[in-house]
Chains A and B, each alone.
Chain A
Amino acid sequence: GNSVTQMEGPVTLSEEAFLTINCTYTATGYPSLFWYVQYPGEGLQLLLKATKADDKGSNKGFEATYRKETTSFHLEKGSVQVSDSAVYFCALIGRTGANNLFFGTGTRLTVIP
Chain B
Amino acid sequence: GAGVSQSPSNKVTEKGKDVELRCDPISGHTALYWYRQSLGQGLEFLIYFQGNSAPDKSGLPSDRFSAERTGGSVSTLTIQRTQQEDSAVYLCASSPTGLAANTGELFFGEGSRLTVL
Chain A residues in the interface with B (C-beta under 8 A): 4, 32, 34, 36, 38, 41-46, 49, 51, 89, 91, 93, 96-106
Q: Which of B10-18, B65-73, B100-108 contacts A (4 or more CB under 8 A)?
A: B100-108
Chain B residues in the interface with A (C-beta under 8 A): 3-4, 31, 33, 35, 40-43, 45, 48, 50, 55-56, 59, 91, 93, 98-100, 103-111
Nearest residue, chain B, Cβ from A96 = B100
Residue of B59, B91, B98 near A43 (CB, 8 A) is B91
Residues of A within 8 A of B31 (CB): 99
CA distance A42 to B107 in the complex (A): 11
Inter-chain CB contacts under 8 Å: number: 70
Residues of A within 8 A of B103 (CB): 32, 49, 51, 93
11 further A-B contacts with Cβ under 8 Å, apart from A99-B31, A101-B43, are A32-B104, A45-B108, A46-B106, A49-B103, A93-B104, A99-B55, A100-B45, A100-B56, A104-B42, A105-B41, A106-B42
